[in-house]
Structure 1
């Protein structure tokens, strides 16, 4: 009998606790109250239509058994969801016509789509972990999707294997800060939105890191954008964009670092372009789009352009071979953003094996003597600074070395005399 009791106790301890009355608990919690979840797993689809805070314990899971969202928040305000794991066949969380909603420290794994927001205001989505499926991009949804909303903060989220990590359409005043988006189609995708800000994010191994389309007013700074190497991919694409500021980003190991298409009143300043196939590409832009004080190093090709439109000012180029006789820090002759060999190598990567050959070096030097046509030109390129590290002498090691040499000489001399 004692053994049977122990077995029953073990089973009760190890088998997850399921609860079917979560909706009842939500309905019974007074407006503005806090509901602490006690069960391990809740199976169902739940609706929140009043101010409430719901906090899960370690391991609390809400699992949608149908194609409906696990949780729907609608026609209410002041709602907080915290510390909950969710599973859903389609969307995990839907927020509609709601204000002052916070979703934090949730985990969504193997979901078609994570969080869907529509016609909402003052939304905070932070410290969440969203993982999609291994399906093709066309068969899965977005990690976080926002439509027709205002005043949104998306912060410290990790998102992977979805269609678009963060999709934004007709949203005003959104800040995207310190997120990590990988292995998706677009890391962050803007459409028809204004006053968007993207700071301190990491985009890696997506098709395109940042896709910004038909936007007036946009800023991106201090982001790390790397390893977007698919055939139609780029680190960042600005398409039909006005009044944009791109500052101090690290753009590295992309097929195209920055793609500009029909941009105007756009400032691209103090960015690092490293080891891209093409650092930047400009199509149908004008001279109100300026690249200033950027640093280009290790790129196969600095620039490709269909017209002499983009303005280049005081950038640093590792393939610039001019001189600075006045010691001003800037070259005496212009830099021409053109490389015959680079154009070929972008199309045929195997050519990279000849990159340091004498003939290629000569061809690159001849390119820099060219002018006119559609060649982009920087009239005052910044000289690349070479740094030499001077180490202090270790006198102890020096004396030991001299002593060893003297001993060796003495031994050698004695052997010779013998």
Structure 2
């Protein structure tokens, strides 16, 4: 039995309308994952079923396509839909059930489109309906990667629909011009054919601008619509009856790619641009003088009576009971008013977007870790939380499925009377993207910052002490932390199951205790550590199953062990770092790691290097053997550290140097630097 010929959609432009929004949604969620591949394959299967399903539906409306075509339509509808559902199953197994709702809405739009075109005549209305359905891949891609459907998913869908809808209107204008068969058109004729095209694009840009001004979309999203609008105006002014549709299709495809790059890039630029300043955005800055003061214990009643967009100034005093901000408000304390929670749940809950909560003392949340009991629990986007003092709290500030928030200049003190494992984190992010955490001070919590499934987080100028991990990453990619101070913790930073982390100009100092580290890398890849101070820790840097990380211009000084590595950590690069006065430069668990200790003829400075530089080029003439026999034995028998500076250990190291007959490992810096690298770091101040 021969298979019927495949039925493939002939609308080539529909492929761009389908997959470009999918990639835009995923990129704005922060990364590309395997789940996105399953979604793309599921979408492809459903999309391919569109044409054969149309043939089947036409049969039901009395339009017989012929027995051969009908059989082929049934066959390929079954194959395509079956494949789509098969690829959807892994996503449903991950709990992405909202995809069924999105698919149901797309099916309704498909049916509406079919009813409009069942007479085989396409209209602008039918094509806009089809575009509305196809661009639902944008919120789908965002949802699969970010794990949530929120307002961001909505505006991603809207922007993609407005853009590709503009392309549909433009093509219909070109079709109408082609039907005139006139090589030249007068200006009135051009406007008669193109007025709808011009009106659509003007209204689309105006709508995007209004959304951006009101902080519903990134301000720079307007930029993504500029090429489309310019092309629409130019195309109308140059309209003629001679249309090269193949060239037009290619031009619209390139325009779609440019739109995707500009939209994703402008959103990223808006995030990174915001991180260059530690001050609050102008739109969220408190007025210079309070127009109204709120007094009395029933503050929640005043919140309920306020209108969205209002600013409420709260006078000094103690306000008892939990607060809930469920509309866009600015709540600003004067004279440090105290919000004293009920002792259950979260003291302050923010579920509305674009709120301001500033200038309060927050106390008395609940004690349930599994309920995310926090001083401030945020379940919304684009909020400004600043200048608050949180004390006697389980979690300090908890961001749950919350994007684009600015949390700055807060002082958070956890419950020191609890064991570390019973405390919450100072600032906790769960599945929250593109947040900024700036100039906060955290102590007595479990972790200073706990970042899980949260990408593109910016952590700057914070101070964290007296807890477990200063910053703890889990499955969080493309994050940046710089100019932070982590001291007197069990570990300065624990970076686990993450990639593309950048850490610059941080201090990791005096992190000591059982299994203590300056920075711990567990299954961490493609990250950069530049210009950090890692000093006076039990272990400076610890590596397990971590690859392709780069370390440059760091000061690694006065640690018991500078580096501890498992042999499954490979292809890491160390260059132009200063290793100074560490008791043990390297403890290697295994035989070798394929670590690169130099690049471009420049290695690292080692205070323990005993070589020479006869040609005076600043680079040692003999390699620096990073691990001696005793260091090697200690890596396999940690209890031997007790004898680190004993006469026996020194004698063993001297004997191995004089008679190098014992092969320890091949870890050596081929180009050690005789003089310390001028790192231009801030002065190493070990006092808090």
Which TM-score band (shorter chain)? 0.7 to 0.9
Determine if the alignment matches structure 1 residue 119 to structure 2 residue 401: yes
Q: Which residue in 1 is equivalent to 2:587? A: 304
Whether 1:213 and 2:529 are equivalent positions in the alignment is no
Query: For 2:665 and 2:629, how far apart are their aligned partners in 1?
Result: 13
Give the conservation status (yes or no) of the 8 Å contact 2:363–2:392. yes
TM-superposed CA distance for 1:351, in Å, is: 4.2
The structural deviation recorded for 1:40 is: 0.5
Q: Secondary structure at the match of 1:172?
A: coil
TM-score with structure 2 setting the length: 0.51
Q: For structure 2, list consecutive stretches of 5 or more residues without a partner in the other structure.
A: 1-293, 367-373, 679-688
The answer to whether the Cα contact below 8 Å between 2:295 and 2:314 also exists between their aligned partners in 1 is: no
Structure 1 residue 99 corresponds to structure 2 residue 381:
yes
Give the superposition deviation at 1:288. Answer: 2.0
Residue pairs, 1:3-402, within 5 angstroms: 19-74=296-351, 76-90=352-366, 91-96=374-379, 98-134=380-416, 135-305=418-588, 306-309=590-593, 310-313=595-598, 314-342=603-631, 347=639, 351=643, 354=646, 359=651, 362-363=654-655, 365-366=657-658, 372-384=663-675
The 1:363/1:273 distance shift into structure 2, 3 A limit, reads farther
Does the 8 Å CA contact 2:430/2:451 hold for their aligned counterparts?
Answer: yes
Query: Residues 188 and 352 from structure 1, CA distance in 2 versus in 1: closer, same or farther, beyond 3 angstroms?
Result: same
Structure 2 residue matching 1:257: 3-state secondary structure: strand
Are 1:207 and 1:229, in contact at CA under 8 Å, matched by a contact in 2? yes
Q: Secondary structure at the match of 2:542?
A: strand
Distance between the aligned counterparts of 1:167 and 1:241, measured in 2? 16
Aligned length: 368
Contact 1:19-1:39 at 8 Å conserved across structures: no
Distance 2:649 2:454 in 1: 52
- Supply the distance in 2 between the matched residues of 1:47 and 1:355 (Cα, whole angstroms): 66
Secondary structure of the equivalent of 2:514? Answer: coil
Unmatched segments (≥5 aa) in structure 1: 1-16, 388-418
**Cα distance between partner residues in 2 of 1:174 and 1:286:** 25
Q: 1:95 to 1:375 in 2, by over 3 A?
A: same
Aligned-partner Cα distance in 2 for 1:217–1:230? 28
Contact map agreement 1:186 1:211 (CA 8 A) in 2: yes
Partners of 1:99 and 1:62 in 2: CA distance: 22
Q: Is the 8 A contact 1:18 1:41 kept in 2?
A: no
Structure 1 contact 55–84 (Cα < 8 Å) conserved: yes
Report the structure number with the largest CA radius of gyration.
2
User: In structure 1, the residue corresponding to 2:525 is in which secondary structure?
Assistant: strand
Instruction: Classify the secondary structure of the residue corresponding to 1:189.
Output: strand
* Cα distance in 2 between the residues matched to 1:21 and 1:162: 31
Query: In 1, distance between residues paired with 2:345 and 2:508?
Result: 35
Per the alignment, in what secondary structure is the counterpart of residue 55 of structure 1? strand
3-state DSSP of counterpart to 1:184: coil
Q: How far apart are 1:292 and its partner, in Å?
A: 1.2
Distance 1:383 1:160, change over 3 A: same
Cα distance between partner residues in 2 of 1:81 and 1:370: 68
Contact 2:316–2:336 (8 Å) recurs in 1: no
1:217 to partner: Cα distance = 1.2
Return the alpha-carbon distance in structure 2 between the equivalents of residues 298 and 171 of structure 1.
Answer: 37
User: For 2:310 and 2:502, how far apart are their aligned partners in 1?
Assistant: 38
CA RMSD of aligned residues (A): 2.4
How many angstroms apart in 2 are the aligned matches of 1:215 and 1:54? Answer: 36
Q: State how far apart, in whole Å, the 2-side matches of 1:57 and 1:312 are.
A: 55
CA–CA distance in 1 between the matches of 2:654 and 2:364?
60
Query: More strand per residue: 1 or 2?
Result: 1
Query: In 2, Cα distance between the equivalents of 1:386 and 1:363?
Result: 31
Give the Cα–Cα distance (whole angstroms) in 1 for the partners of residues 569 and 320 of structure 2. Answer: 56
CA distance in 1, matches of 2:606, 2:648: 17
When residues 24 and 370 of structure 1 are mapped into structure 2, their CA distance, relative to the original with a 3 A threshold, is: farther
Distance 1:62 1:121 in 2: 25
Shift of 1:334: 0.9
CA offsets 1:357-376 (integer angstroms, 9 cap, x no match): 98477357448x57855241
Report the structure, 1 or 2, having the larger helix content: 2
Please identify, of 372-381 and 208-217, the stretch whose mean Cα deviation from structure 2 is larger.
372-381
Deviations 1:276-317 (A, max 9, x none): 011011113454211111111110100112232222110111
Alpha-carbon spacing, 1:320–1:365, altered in 2? closer, same or farther (3 Å) = farther
TM-score w.r.t. structure 1 length?
Answer: 0.82
